[in-house]
Structures are given as C-alpha cells and as structure tokens.
C-alpha cells in the first residue's frame, strides 16, 4: 500500500503534464524512494494512474539505471569510477568498500544495511573521487572518509534513523 | 516509438509516401539514373522504384521510421556524412550514390556489427534460407568477423505456444513491436534493458497475451521470433508452396501453404500478395492444422443395426442414392431437404443446389445464413446501385468508414486491419454504431454512438426516415447521433459496413439513407466463414436460384432449366428453421447435409433428428450431426481441393489445391477417386473426396450426365450463367481477387432469426477449430472473447 | 548536497557573470536574488518584446553550453510563429557527460537565475509551459528548484499575467532516473513523454516537432543562466567578454590530475594551457602533463603538446577536438591511456541506448576488446581493429552518442599508440605497478 503522502505526490506530479504518461519515470523514482524498490503493485498502480498498459511501465524501468525491481540495502553506496574519479582513485574507493563491506558490486550485506554499486559519472567530477549514498553526495573521498561514513551510517541505523 | 494512446497528440514519424498527394513529382539522380517519384517519397522507396536495392532491416513500408539499423546508409551529394535512405525524403535534383566504396564499407560494417552477438546457427535456424541477415551477408560481405570477444547469450523464451523468441538472433529492428502496435493495435511487445543487452519482451513479462496473430514472426527478418507450429520442423526449401484462400472467416485472406510429404507444415502470406498483403490472423497463420488432424473422417460410414460402420465409397453413395430416391418416390420431393455449407466452394454449392433442384426435385435447400446478403442485393438492385459493393481493398483506401454492429477485431480480423490501416495511414475517420464498446470504437473511432442492445436497426430507421430517435436508444449522449449525421454529411465516399444486427427491411433503410450521403457511398455486409457469401450467391436458399433470381420467377427458372436441361421446381422451399422443424415433426423424411453442423449451430434438442428416415452428412470430422447420420461421407478440406470462394465483400478468389510437396506415389495414398480434377501431385487426405467429387459421383448414381470434370468446368458455367459472376477467368486463376456484382430481386427475408452470426472469436471457427491444436493451445482461447485490448 | 567548497575554489582570473551569486548567504532565496538584480531582465524582456529578445540573444554570440555550441538566439528563431500548437521550453539539466559538473552548482546556488532565464526564453518563443529535466542522481536539486519555483509563483514571476505583461507561463521540474542518453535532446523529449529515452529521427527538429509533437526548445542549464545577464548588460557588452564568434563566459570544470579541481567561470577563448597552470594550479606532485580531454569524455583527447589553444569552439575544432560541455579532464604522465580509454568506452557501452546497431554493438565490442587488451590478452591486430570499429561507428549512428564513443577511441589510439604497443610487449599494463598516488 502506498502512503497517503505518496499518493498525493503522485496526483500532484501527474497534474504537471498535458499527457499523463509523462509522469511515469518521476512516479517510479518517487515510488521507489518510499518502497525501496519497484514492486509489481507499484507498476500496476502507476500504469493505472497514467492510463497505460503495465508493459509500458516495465519497458521504462529497465531502461533507467537507478530503477530496480528487487529490494536493495538500506544504504546504497554508489561509487563513481568514471574517468575523473578514476584518475583520482575511484577504483581504490570501490575496492575499499568491497573489502570493507565484504560484498561485490550489485551485492547487499546480509543484514540488508548496505548495497554496493559501481556507477557512471555522478556529476561530481571536481570533487573526485565521489560517491552517492542514496541521494547524498560524498566527495573528495579517501578510504578513511569512507570508513567513517560507513560507521556513521551504522550508528544512524542503530539509533532508528529513517533512511 | 510513440504509442497510439494519445493519438493526435504525439506524432510518430510516418513514411510521407502514403500521405503525399501524388500530384507533384520530384526528379533525382540515383547512381546516375534519373528517377521521378511523387513528392514526399522516401529515398529508399525511390531507389526501389528505380530497381536499385538499398538494404534495410528496420525500414518497413507503412510502419513508422526508426533509422535504427543503419543498413541503408547512402551517400548524398553535398552532405558531409552518409545518410539513411529510409528517413530521407527525396528532393529535387538530389544526387545519390549507393555503390561507392564508402557506402559498401558502411554496409559491411553494419553487418559485422549485427553478427557480433548473433549466433551462427544458420544450419538449425528456422529462418535459414529465407533470412534477411543471411542474404545480406551473402551479398554485401562481412562473412569474416574480427570479433574475438565472448558472445552474449540468453536462453530462448517461449512467449506463448505459438511465439518463441531467441534473443541472440534478434537484431533489434523493432519491426515486431511496430507491427503489433501500429498494424495490430495490440501493443503486446516491448523492449527491456538497453544497449547490447536490449531485448524484446512480451506484455506479461514472462509470456504474451495477445491476438496470437503471428505477424511479429512473419515480419522478423531473422530467426529471432519463430512459430510454435513450424519451428525445427523443416527447411524452407523442402516445402512446396501454394497460395490459396484461408477457409476460416469471411474475409478471404490469401495464405500460402507450405507442404511437405502431403502434410501442411506452415502457412503464411509469403509474397504479401492478395487482398490481405502482409496480414494474417491467428486462424489464417496457425489454424490450418485441423487439416492434419488425426480425427479427420477418412472412411465412409454407414449405419447398420443402429451402429455406424466403416464402408466403401461405392456402397455409401449407392445407398444414399437409393434411399433418397425411394423416399422421394414414396413421400414426394417435398419430404427431402438439403442443408449446405458456408465453407464449401462456389462450384460445390452450385452443384449442391442443382442436385437438390433437379435430381431431388426440391427447393428445400438452405444454409446457416450469417449475414443477410439477399436484402443488401435487393436494396442495391432496387436503387440501381449495384456498383456500390465495397471490397476489402476499398476499406483500406477509404476516407471514411461507418461501422454498424459486429466486432471486426474478433470476427473479421482483416476488415479490422484494413480499417486501422485507413485510419492510421490515410487519416480516415471511423464512425461506429454498436451496443458494445468494441475495440475499434474505443481506439479508432472519431464518433462512437453506443446504442442499447439490438438498437442498431432502430437507429438506422431513424436516420432513414428522419424520425426522432426513440428515447433510451442512444446510451452515450443524446447529441451523439446528431454529431454522427453531421460529420457523415461532410464526408465523401463513406464505406458503410454492417453486421447481422441489420437484416431484412433494416438493410433497405440503410441503403436508402446511405445512398443520400455525399460522393459514392458503398456497402459491405459482414458474414462469417469463407464462403457464406458464395452460399447465398449460388442459391443455397429456398426461394432463390443462383445469382439472386427468385424461384418464383418463371423467366429465371426457364433460364436455368435451359442450362441444366431439367425442370426446376416452382414453389419456394422451406428455410432452414422450417426444415429442422419439419425434420422433428416427421414431415421431412430425408436430410442431406454438406459441410454443416446444424445440430450444434441451431442447438437442436437431443434426438431432434431421430424421426428422419435418412440422414446423409458430408463432413471432415465427427460432429454432433454426423453422430445422427445414416451415411457419413468423409470430405476433403479446403487444402485438398480447388475452387472459388466469395468473401463477405463479394470478392471472388481461386482456392488452389496445394502441391503435395515431394512426390508420394499415388498408390501410397490409397485408391484414387473419380478424377473430377487433376490430382497428380496435389494434397489429398487418403480416403476423402472433395464435395465436388462427391456431388458428381452422386449425380452419376442418379443417372444424370453432368458435363463437368473439374471445378474449373463448373466455374465456367457459373461465369456464363450466374448474374453478377460474369468475371474474367485468367486473373482469377492467377490468384487475383475479382469483385462480383450481385444483382437481383430475391424474395424478402422470411424470418429475422434466419440470419445470425456464429460469434466466432479470433480463436474459434465453428466446428473445425475444435480440431486445431494451435487454436486451442493458446491461453487466450480459454478466456472470454473480447479481453484482448 | 555536495562538498561545495571543493568546486568553488575561485580564481582571480575568473570573470563572474553567472556565478556572481555563488557563495552569498542564502543565495537560493528569491530575496537575495532580487537584491542582486534578479528578475530585472525579465521586466526588460517584456518591454522589448519576443522578437527583440531573440535578436538580442542572437547578437550576444551565446552558443549552447550543452555541447554542440549552436547559436542560442538562432535556435530560438526556428520555432514557427504561425502555429496553433502549444510550444514548450525544456531546460536540459541531465548533466551526465563525464568530466562535467557545472550545471549542478548553477542550480544548487542560484536557482532563480535559471528560472528567470527559462521564463525569458519561454517568452521569446511564445511558450507557456516549461520543464526542467533533471537527472535522477540530482534528486536533492529537485527540492531546491521546486522551492524556488514556488517562490517565483508566490511573487508573480510565474503563473498568469506575469508582471502585468499579459504573458502566462508555467514551470515544473521533471526527473530522469539514470540514463546519459536522456541528455540528447530528442531522447530527453521521449523520456519526458514517459517513453524509453530513445533519440528521434531528425529532421524534424524539436524546434518544429518536439515535446508532444509541438515546437520545443531544449537548452542547457548554463545556456539559460546566461540569458538574464545578456538582457541586463546588453548583447554587445556580453559578447565582448568572449571572442568574436563565442560570446560571453563559460564554466570550465577542471578535473583529474590538477592541483585545484573546480568549476571556474572564464571568458570564452581562454587559453587551455593557462587554464591548467594558472587557474588550476598545474599538475600535482610535480608530474608532467600527458594529455587533456578539453570538453567532456566524448571529445578527442589532446596530447600535452597540443594544449596551447584558445578555448573557443573554432580554435579547439581546428586542432581536431571539441569544446564540448566544458569538462576539462587533465591526465598526468602516469596515466595509462589504455585504461583511460577502456573506462570511457565502458561508459558509452553502458549508456548506449541500444537503438541503433553501430552504437549498440560497436561500443560493447570496444569495451570488451579494450578490457581483454588491458588485462593482457591483447593481440597485434587489436589496436587496428579498435580503430576500425571506432571509424565504423563514427558518423553512422542515429544520435551523436556513437560519435562520442568513436572519437575517444580514434584519438587515444592514434595519439598514444605506443602505449598500446607497450601493453602488448609486456603482456600487462605498464602503469599498474606504479600505483597512482592521490593527492
Ligand atoms: C549523448 C548526448 C548526451 C547529451 N547530454 C547532455 C546533457 O547532459 N546536458 C546538456 O545540456 N546537453 C546534452 N547534450 C546536448 C543536447 O543534445 C542538446 O544539444 C543541448 O541540450 C542543447 O542545449 P544548448 O543549445 O543550450 O547547448 C547531449 C547530447 C548527446 C548527443
Ligand atoms: S548512437 Fe544509436 S544506440 Fe547509441 S545512443 Fe544514439 S541512437 Fe542509441
Ligand atoms: S533501414 Fe534505414 S536505418 Fe534501418
């Protein structure tokens, strides 16, 4: 079930366009933000609201790299290794995360807390090496900074902080 | 690829060719050759017209432009880069080169790219031998690849029992998606992922839910989409191909049967010829497999001591003759009745009524009428407008169409396709009057008038007599009818298509009103089955001789008596419901049934035919009716005979008996029946005979000397003597559809309930579809019809 | 939100036109914006009328900052005037070209400047609706922009009858969800229509057939941010900031092996060598410069010997590269050029939409070949094959993403062929042992 707030958001977003289907990608992203992934129910719900067949929503999902149909960790560490970050140690950051979390890219820690992803250019080239945790940018990273961040996120969770 | 949902709002680039008015032309030079084409023509088409081949995959005439495969790159003077011929509109003085080293290199490069992940499994690929990729590599090179990386692989997927998808072979030309979206308006295919991982997906993620028309398979240039009934069965060159006419619905699509060893292996409209072009529905493409069914009747049956037992043709026919003759002598000719078929050929129907009228001496002959063609013929004849029958071709070229009743999407797939083509490619307007929200009304119509169930005739009456619309007739807004009339008054050459909702006088009203519309309005009645129209045209009617001549008319009788050299009874016979009533009451003693299953169609109660003294049935399969028969004659199917059929719009076509494919010796096929037509090397189910052969043999039993040796002989007589059928034979035999022009004043419709459609869906076709594995194998056939949107 | 400081180190050589509010307290608020000449250009635009606005922008020499560098005023003038269809203005904030991170601070620090630019553009072409298409990764910017848009509505700069001009204009944000290709303007429009981000066949161009089949102008964030300044200071004054054919200033993103990476606003035509040395502080660690990609990863790489060039569209084109999106990527002597190219091709293979054959298959081929090559499994033919594959993509794809993948391939292999040969000879990467120290 979608929250009332999300439903209201959906209505508000759909109203922005003369053609409802324009709202598909924003709705998918906002829905995923709340649910954590794109459930079948969400697909149906969006298709219904924007008046398209579910396949048209499904076609979109796999096109966009940020959308996923399976649950992932609470914190998704998305490490950029593209050229500007590569030049400043992006791969080492990724490797560090991999060792630190004990998971491969596209993997999730058994406690469901962290996922790791190698991503393309995040638009943080001048703050390289950079990563995004969910939507938050972390830049000019060093392995130590990453350690501190992971620790902080663990504590945040322990304190019952929402995602 | 814009979807049609917001039709009119999102513009899909469409080939301009179809939209341009041919008035202006453009002259350009391709490879030094001057070419003049209509303005707006695409370069690739202009080149083709000049006989210059520009290879292409994603380009497909009449589908939206993709510019995706880049095979069609050519060099155009003054352009810095190579250009795609499929998206370039010709301009005056354009100079094009299609053979430069740069172009040749580009083609080779594209093929090399196509082959990087493409498996080289041509030897086991269904498409081998007719694969556009294979052909192009053969012609343009790139057979040697420098690709050393591991090929991506995915397992083959079964989208449905009829449609399989092999990802590695897919070159992503998007033809399948477009034909499904744009041509079929089914939108069942999509694309998932992106880049080199892109793949075609079915609408239900792991399976397809669609019309199962197989258009996607047909249009696939490679072996990525394959047919569940054909895959891994044969190499295309092993088959022998014969173009014939599909025997299912009334639209009359051309289909090419691929036959090997006396067995149909596949059907498709290979050369895109005929009235249906590239179109075929699920029945036309897959539904022929009943022909191969093991449940076919192959031995004549004769009832002995209450049991049907195997017999010989000689015994069955002679018994039939003797019994009919005895009953006729004892109880009079009126005690015998004949029920004909709406699938058998015109020639067979013509002979059947000749047999009834001249050998049995009765006009008690009828068939299950699925459209009231008689009333349309009457009305047009009365209005001196017998040039106003619309054909299937007219439909796709129409500027405006008014559809009253029926649901062509399910019952007349070709008519629906033609209407969609007209709307999509020519901007035609569709107007719909229906009691249900049929798909065409929802998706294609400019104005939809929803009427209460059975209200179509009232509505037509109101229009014709300018009467006020009865309250409660129109359900979706009182102003709708006004809007419809107003819009139609501004249209020209509207084609009016109607179903069994209009019968008898209502058709008179429709024609009277319709002819007042601007331009040259034309009409089409929709009836089921391959030869419903032909059954009516050939006089399988109690009061009507072939060509809609009333039996009551002495002149008409005299005319046929002269041709047949025998008297024709004068009194109108019983119609089919009366025949069946009389069979139950005992007035009718003997019933002759050809290719029909009246027990099922008319839902007769158990034992209804038990008072008959004699029932003979010619059939393909054991049915509810053959179960009651005293003699059962195993008949040949459409794929085992030649002859003409007339589609619901009056187009006459030659159904050609397929070659057998491989020379199976005649002896292997069992005893050869009467040589009513050349049989050497043609398809035959051992033990069966065509209805034509049966009728000729029966006539011989009766001692008649009919002058025909083949269907062609009968057809010549039809052409010479049946009004409306005076067509030229050669184009017909060459496979063209020839429009007939029925005219005459047959007696009015006896009872409205004589006309009713069988409400077949896309997946049913009366009795025969019960014996089709393909039609029953798809999930959709198990769901209530109308769910596919 | 980012590590803001690191972007805005600032340089005395900067000419701050569109970054002038960067660093101000509360720079995103409409009040600060109004205090610093905000929305004055809009009022001026209403006085001038659409035709005059278009010609002013044309004369300013403003060229698209999204990459292609087309004259912005000229582009606006292609919108048909005699159409009954609605028209749209779409701001391209999909910023995804590797090496480019300039639109982000523009939106983060000065959203109203962008909004004002969009309204003026809308007024000029007769649009009544605008959308800002923001890449999904910039989710936080949605909040900043939505807030600013709400403020603008509140003060009457958006909505009905703006500033009593009789002009109505609506503006909304829209988010993507991870697809570089959606930065290509026609793919962006498809994406904005809820479809997969496939590019469209051109012509027709969006200015004639764009969003929902209606005339549409797609402009980059930075391009639109310049518009208020142009109207405020006048076309001539603006043009004079740059070179004759390249009006104004431009944001350059210095990244890679540079002492002070950051986004700097410099006049058009600023010398690249000076940019690296004086603005960015040179290559760190006392290392020598090896190569520079001057305009985002899709532009041909320049060898160190080629960097004495004026950064304007023509000068960079003259030496065989492109000014692109302003992403200047600097590589020092320890950079493995095979690896750098591999990483770039990996990106294009990942981002190819898959619509057209040469890009779909070619980028994947290049990536796999280079991966194998870099991993030590190379063959002698590989460099030539890769070169050939690149040429077979070049100029043959539906949209320019194919070229974006082909050009690095060609330039890296042609200019640094010796490094490929070294890999072959060693059977391994010669740079792998000299681990890159991060400063
Ligand atoms: C593959 C590809 C990606 C692009 N990505 C962007 C982008 O992220 N941002 C952008 O402004 N322009 C991008 N462009 C350029 C746009 O297509 C378009 O030229 C630009 O939005 C026009 O705006 P401008 O005239 O203001 O530069 C891209 C082009 C291509 C071919
Ligand atoms: S070049 Fe072709 S496959 Fe690549 S992004 Fe453009 S259209 Fe898609
Ligand atoms: S046929 Fe022209 S690009 Fe495919």
pLDDT tens for residues C137-168? 999 999 999 999 999 999 999 999 999 999 99
Nearest CA in chain C to B109: C392
Residue B664 has pLDDT above 80, yes or no: no
Residue B669 has pLDDT above 70, yes or no: no
Residue B459 has pLDDT above 70, yes or no: yes
**Which ligand is closest in space to the CA of residue C396?**
2
Choose the final residue of a domain: C284, C309, C332: C332
Please state, in angstroms and rounded to a whole number, the distance separating the CA atoms of residues B504 and B369: 12
Mean pLDDT on B43-61: 96
B236 in A contact zone (CB under 8 Å): no
Mean pLDDT of chain C: 96
Pocket residues: Cβ below 6 A from ligand 3: B 56-59, 67-72, 84, 86
Q: What is the CATH number of the domain that holds C292?
A: 3.10.20.600
CB C294, CB C311: distance < 8 Å: yes
CA angle B33, B37, B43 (to 5 degrees): 75
Task: Go through chain C and tell me how many residues it has.
Answer: 439
Q: Are residues A83 and A149 in the same domain?
A: yes
| ipTM for this model | 0.94
Determine the pLDDT at residue B782: 85
Determine the pLDDT at residue B4: 36
Q: What is the CATH number of the domain that holds A26?
A: 1.10.10
Mean pLDDT of chain B: 93
Determine the pLDDT at residue B725: 98
B115: closest CA among B157, B84, B83, B152?
Answer: B152
Nearest CA in chain A to B202: A55
Determine the pLDDT at residue B142: 67
pLDDT tens for residues C394-432? 999 999 999 999 999 999 999 999 999 999 999 999 998
Q: Are residues B330 and B262 in the same domain?
A: no
CB B262, CB B669: distance < 8 Å: yes
Contacts of C353 in chain A (CB under 8 A): 63
Please state, in angstroms and rounded to a whole number, the distance separating the CA atoms of residues C338 and C373: 8
CB B596, CB B625: distance < 8 Å: yes
Tell me, yes or no, whether C198 lies in a domain: yes
Tell me, yes or no, whether B651 lies in a domain: yes
Residue B707 has pLDDT above 70, yes or no: yes
Q: Are residues A82 and A148 in the same domain?
A: yes
Tell me, yes or no, whether B113 lies in a domain: no
Please state, in angstroms and rounded to a whole number, the distance separating the CA atoms of residues B718 and B740: 12
B726 in A contact zone (CB under 8 Å): no
Band of pLDDT at residue B9, cut at 50, 70 and 90: very low
C121 CA from centroid of ligand 2 (Å):
29
Please state, in angstroms and rounded to a whole number, the distance separating the CA atoms of residues B446 and B491: 12
Q: Are residues C324 and C192 in the same domain?
A: no
Choose the final residue of a domain: C315, C332, C349: C332
Determine the pLDDT at residue C6: 73
Residue B15 has pLDDT above 80, yes or no: no
Q: Are residues B366 and B388 in the same domain?
A: no
- Can you give the residue range of the structural domain that contains A35? 4-63
Choose the final residue of a domain: B526, B543, B562: B526
Phi, psi dihedrals of residue C89, rounded to the nearest 5°: -120, 130
Q: Are residues B209 and B87 in the same domain?
A: no
Band of pLDDT at residue B668, cut at 50, 70 and 90: low
CB B601, CB B758: distance < 8 Å: yes
Helix or strand holding residue C103 (H, E): helix C103-109
Choose the final residue of a domain: A43, A63, A83: A63
Residue B674 has pLDDT above 60, yes or no: no
| pTM of the predicted model over 0.90 | yes
**Closest Cα in chain B, distance from residue C358 (Å):** 6
C397 CA from centroid of ligand 2 (Å):
6
Domains contained in chain C, number: 3
Determine the pLDDT at residue B20: 43
Q: Are residues B326 and B396 in the same domain?
A: no
pLDDT tens for residues B718-746? 999 999 999 999 999 999 999 999 999 99
Q: Are residues A80 and A154 in the same domain?
A: yes
Q: Are residues A140 and A111 in the same domain?
A: yes
Residue B663 has pLDDT above 50, yes or no: yes
Q: Are residues A95 and A46 in the same domain?
A: no
Q: Are residues B188 and B254 in the same domain?
A: yes
Q: Are residues A107 and A143 in the same domain?
A: yes
Choose the final residue of a domain: C332, C349, C373: C332
Q: Of A19, A54, A62, which has the smallest distance from its Cβ to B6's Cβ?
A: A19
Are C381 and B146 inside 8 Å of each other by CB?
yes
Please state, in angstroms and rounded to a whole number, the distance separating the CA atoms of residues B550 and B534: 16
B754 in A contact zone (CB under 8 Å): no
Tell me, yes or no, whether B253 lies in a domain: yes
Q: Of B5, B9, B190, which has the smallest distance from its Cβ to A55's Cβ?
A: B190
Residue B17 has pLDDT above 50, yes or no: no
- Can you give the residue range of the structural domain that contains B637? 301-370+532-745
Q: Are residues A115 and A148 in the same domain?
A: yes
Q: Are residues C46 and C194 in the same domain?
A: yes
Q: What is the CATH number of the domain that holds B459?
A: 3.40.228.10
Q: Are residues C326 and C344 in the same domain?
A: no
Please state, in angstroms and rounded to a whole number, the distance separating the CA atoms of residues B419 and B477: 25
Tell me, yes or no, whether A163 lies in a domain: no
Tell me, yes or no, whether C100 lies in a domain: yes
Q: Bridge-partner residues for C251, per DSSP? A: C265
DSSP B754: G
Q: Are residues B92 and B221 in the same domain?
A: no
Residue B679 has pLDDT above 60, yes or no: no
Determine the pLDDT at residue B144: 74
Please state, in angstroms and rounded to a whole number, the distance separating the CA atoms of residues C155 and C166: 16
Q: Are residues B220 and B130 in the same domain?
A: yes
Mean pLDDT on A9-36: 97
CB B395, CB B415: distance < 8 Å: yes
Task: Go through chain A and tell me how many residues it has.
Answer: 163
| Positions in chain C short of pLDDT 70 | 1-4, 433-439
Contacts of C178 in chain A (CB under 8 A): 64-67
Q: Are residues A38 and A105 in the same domain?
A: no
Please state, in angstroms and rounded to a whole number, the distance separating the CA atoms of residues B774 and B234: 18
Mean pLDDT on A140-150: 97
Q: Are residues B420 and B516 in the same domain?
A: yes
Determine the pLDDT at residue C61: 97
DSSP B727: -
Domains contained in chain B, number: 4
CB B579, CB B364: distance < 8 Å: yes
Q: Are residues C295 and C161 in the same domain?
A: no
Tell me, yes or no, whether B762 lies in a domain: no
Number of inter-chain CB pairs under 8 A, A vs B:
37
Concatenated DSSP letters of B407-451 = -HHHH-HHHHHHHHHHHHHH--EEEEEESS--HHHHHTEEEEEEB
Determine the pLDDT at residue B145: 77
- Can you give the residue range of the structural domain that contains C299? 249-332
Contacts of B3 in chain C (CB under 8 A): 195
Contacts of B9 in chain A (CB under 8 A): 18-19
Domains contained in chain A, number: 2
Q: What is the CATH number of the domain that holds C54?
A: 3.40.50.11540
Nearest CA in chain A to B192: A59
Tell me, yes or no, whether A57 lies in a domain: yes
Determine the pLDDT at residue B786: 47
Tell me, yes or no, whether C4 lies in a domain: no
Please state, in angstroms and rounded to a whole number, the distance separating the CA atoms of residues B689 and A151: 86
Q: Are residues A57 and A87 in the same domain?
A: no
Determine the pLDDT at residue B787: 46
Mean pLDDT on B510-535: 97
Tell me, yes or no, whether C13 lies in a domain: no
C353 CA from centroid of ligand 2 (Å):
5
Compute the 3-state secondary structure of chain C and give helix, strand, coil in percent, each to the nearest 5.
45, 15, 40
């Amino acid at each position: 079930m979608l929250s009332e707030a999300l439903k209201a958001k959906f209505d508000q977003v759909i109203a922005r366009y003369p053609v409802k289907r324009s709202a598909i990608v924003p709705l998918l992203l906002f829905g995923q933000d709340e649910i954590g992934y794109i459930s079948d129910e969400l697909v149906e719900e969006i298709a219904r609201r924007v008046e398209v067949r579910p396949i048209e929503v499904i076609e979109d999902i796999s096109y966009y790299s940020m959308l996923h149909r399976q649950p992932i960790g609470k914190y998704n560490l998305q490490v950029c290794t593209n050229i500007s970050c590569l030049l400043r140690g992006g791969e080492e950051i990724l490797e560090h995360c991999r060792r630190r979390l004990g998971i491969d890219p596209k993997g999730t820690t058994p406690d469901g807390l962290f996922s790791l992803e190698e991503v393309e250019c995040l638009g943080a080239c001048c703050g390289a090496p950079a990563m995004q945790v969910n939507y938050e940018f972390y830049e000019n990273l060093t392995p130590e900074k990453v350690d501190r961040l992971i620790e902080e996120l663990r504590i945040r969770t322990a304190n019952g902080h929402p995602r | 690829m814009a979807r049609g949902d917001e039709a009119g709002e999102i513009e899909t680039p469409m080939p301009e060719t179809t939209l341009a008015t041919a008035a202006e032309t453009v002259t350009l030079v391709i490879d030094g050759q001057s070419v003049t084409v209509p303005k707006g023509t695409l370069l690739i088409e202009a080149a083709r017209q000049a006989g210059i081949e520009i290879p292409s995959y994603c380009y497909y005439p009449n589908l939206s432009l993709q510019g995706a495969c880049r095979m069609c790159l050519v060099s155009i003077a003054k352009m810095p880069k190579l250009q795609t011929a499929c998206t370039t509109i010709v301009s005056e003085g354009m100079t094009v080169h299609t053979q430069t080293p740069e172009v040749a290199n580009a083609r080779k490069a594209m093929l090399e790219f196509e082959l990087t992940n493409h498996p080289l499994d041509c030897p086991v690929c269904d498409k081998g031998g007719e694969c556009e990729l294979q052909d192009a590599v053969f012609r343009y090179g790139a057979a040697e690849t420098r690709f050393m990386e591991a090929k991506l692989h995915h397992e083959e997927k079964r989208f449905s029992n009829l449609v399989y998808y092999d990802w590695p072979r897919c070159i992503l030309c998007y033809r399948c998606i477009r034909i499904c979206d744009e041509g079929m308006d089914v939108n069942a295919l999509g694309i998932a992922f992106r880049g080199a991982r892109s793949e075609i997906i079915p609408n239900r993620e792991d399976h397809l839910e669609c019309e199962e028309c197989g258009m996607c398979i047909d249009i696939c240039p490679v072996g990525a989409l394959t047919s569940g009934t054909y895959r891994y069965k044969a190499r295309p060159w092993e088959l022998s191909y014969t173009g014939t006419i599909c025997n299912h619905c009334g639209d009359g699509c051309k289909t090419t049967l691929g036959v090997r060893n006396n067995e149909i292996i596949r059907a498709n409209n290979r050369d895109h010829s005929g009235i249906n072009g590239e179109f075929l529905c699920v029945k036309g493409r897959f539904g022929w497999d009943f022909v191969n069914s093991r449940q076919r009747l192959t031995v004549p049956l004769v009832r002995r001591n209450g049991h049907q037992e195997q017999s010989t043709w000689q015994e069955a026919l002679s018994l039939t003759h003797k019994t009919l003759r005895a009953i006729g002598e004892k109880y009079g000719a009126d005690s015998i009745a004949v029920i004909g078929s709406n699938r058998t050929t015109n020639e067979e129907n013509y002979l059947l009524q000749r047999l009834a009228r001249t050998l049995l001496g009765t006009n008690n002959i009828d068939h299950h009428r699925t459209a009231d063609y008689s009333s349309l013929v009457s009305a047009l004849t009365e209005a001196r407008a017998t040039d106003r029958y619309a054909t299937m071709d007219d439909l796709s070229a129409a500027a405006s169409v008014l559809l009253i009743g029926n649901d062509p999407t399910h019952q007349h797939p070709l008519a629906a396709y033609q209407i969609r083509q007209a709307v999509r490619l020519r901007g035609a307007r569709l107007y719909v009057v229906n009691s249900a929200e049929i798909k065409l009304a929802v998706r294609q119509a400019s104005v939809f008038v929803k009427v209460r169930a059975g209200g179509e005739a009232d509505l037509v009456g109101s229009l014709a007599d300018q009467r006020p619309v009865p309250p409660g007739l129109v359900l979706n807004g009182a102003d709708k009818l006004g809007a419809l009339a107003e819009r139609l008054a501004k249209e020209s050459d509207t084609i009016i298509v109607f179903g069994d909702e209009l019968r008898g006088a209502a058709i008179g009203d429709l024609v009277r009103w319709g002819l007042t519309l601007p331009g040259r309005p034309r009409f089409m009645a929709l009836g089921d089955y391959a030869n419903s129209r032909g059954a009516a045209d050939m006089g399988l009617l109690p009061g009507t001789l072939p060509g809609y001549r009333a039996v009551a008319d002495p002149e008409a009788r005299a005319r046929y008596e002269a041709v047949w050299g025998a008297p024709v009874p004068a009194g109108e016979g019983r119609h089919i419901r009366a025949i069946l009533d009389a069979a139950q009451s005992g007035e009718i003693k003997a019933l002759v049934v050809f290719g029909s299953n009246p027990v099922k169609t008319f839902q007769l109660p158990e034992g209804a035919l038990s008072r008959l003294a004699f029932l003979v049935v010619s059939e393909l399969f054991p049915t509810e009716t053959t179960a009651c028969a005293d003699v059962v004659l195993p008949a040949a199917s459409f794929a085992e005979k030649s002859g003409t059929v007339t589609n619901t719009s009056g187009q006459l076509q030659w159904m050609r008996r397929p070659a057998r494919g491989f020379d199976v010796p005649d002896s292997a096929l069992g005893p050869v029946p009467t040589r009513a037509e050349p049989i050497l090397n043609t398809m035959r189910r051992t033990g069966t005979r065509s209805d034509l052969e049966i009728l000729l043999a029966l006539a011989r039993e009766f001692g008649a000397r009919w002058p025909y040796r083949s269907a062609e002989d009968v057809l010549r007589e039809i052409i010479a003597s049946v009004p409306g059928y005076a067509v030229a034979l050669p184009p017909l035999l060459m496979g063209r559809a020839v429009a007939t022009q029925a005219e005459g004043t047959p007696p009015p419709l006896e009872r409205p309930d004589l006309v009713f459609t069988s409400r077949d869906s896309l997946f049913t076709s009366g009795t025969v579809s019960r014996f089709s594995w393909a039609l029953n194998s798809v999930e959709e056939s198990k769901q209530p019809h109308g769910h596919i949107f | 939100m980012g590590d803001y400081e690191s972007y805005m180190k600032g340089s005395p050589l900067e000419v701050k036109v569109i970054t002038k509010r960067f660093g101000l307290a509360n720079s995103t608020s409409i009040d600060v914006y109004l205090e610093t000449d905000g929305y004055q250009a809009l009022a001026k635009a209403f006085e001038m009328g659409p035709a005059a606005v278009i010609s002013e922008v044309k004369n300013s020499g403003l060229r698209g900052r999204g990459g292609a560098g087309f004259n912005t005023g000229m582009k606006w003038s292609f919108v048909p005037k005699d159409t009954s269809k609605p028209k749209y203005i779409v701001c391209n904030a999909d910023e995804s070209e590797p090496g480019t991170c300039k639109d982000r601070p523009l939106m983060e620090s000065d959203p109203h400047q962008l909004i004002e630019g969009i309204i003026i553009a809308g007024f000029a072409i007769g649009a009544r609706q605008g959308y800002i298409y923001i890449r999904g990764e910039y989710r936080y910017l949605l909040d900043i922009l939505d807030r600013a848009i709400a403020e603008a509505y509140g003060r009457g700069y958006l909505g009905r009858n703006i500033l009593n001009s009789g002009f109505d204009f609506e503006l909304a944000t829209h988010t993507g969800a991870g697809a570089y290709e959606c930065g290509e303007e026609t793919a962006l429009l498809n994406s904005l229509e809820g479809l997969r981000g496939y590019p469209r066949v051109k012509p027709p161009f969006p200015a004639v057939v764009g969003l929902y089949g209606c005339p549409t102008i797609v402009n980059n964030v930075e391009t639109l941010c310049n518009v208020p300044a142009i109207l405020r200071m006048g076309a001539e004054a603006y043009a004079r900031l740059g070179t004759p054919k390249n009006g104004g200033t431009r944001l350059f993103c210095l990244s890679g092996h540079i002492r002070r990476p950051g986004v700097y606003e410099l006049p058009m035509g600023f010398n690249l060598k000076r940019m690296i040395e004086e603005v960015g502080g040179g290559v760190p660690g006392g290392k020598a410069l090896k190569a520079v990609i001057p305009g985002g990863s899709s532009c041909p790489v320049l060898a160190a010997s080629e960097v004495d060039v004026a950064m304007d569209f023509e000068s960079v084109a003259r030496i065989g590269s492109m000014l692109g999106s302003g992403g200047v990527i600097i590589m020092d002597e320890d950079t493995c050029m095979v690896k750098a190219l591999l990483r770039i091709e990996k990106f294009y293979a990942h981002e190819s939409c898959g619509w057209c054959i040469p890009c779909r298959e070619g980028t994947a081929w290049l990536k796999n070949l280079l991966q194998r090559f870099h991993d030590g499994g190379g063959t002698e033919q590989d460099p030539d094959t890769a070169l050939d594959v690149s040429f077979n993509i070049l100029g043959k794809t539906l949209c320019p993403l194919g070229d974006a993948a082909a050009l690095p391939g060609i330039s890296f292999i042609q200019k640094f062929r010796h490094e490929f040969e070294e890999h072959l000879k060693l059977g391994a990467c010669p740079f792998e042992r000299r681990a890159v120290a991060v400063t």
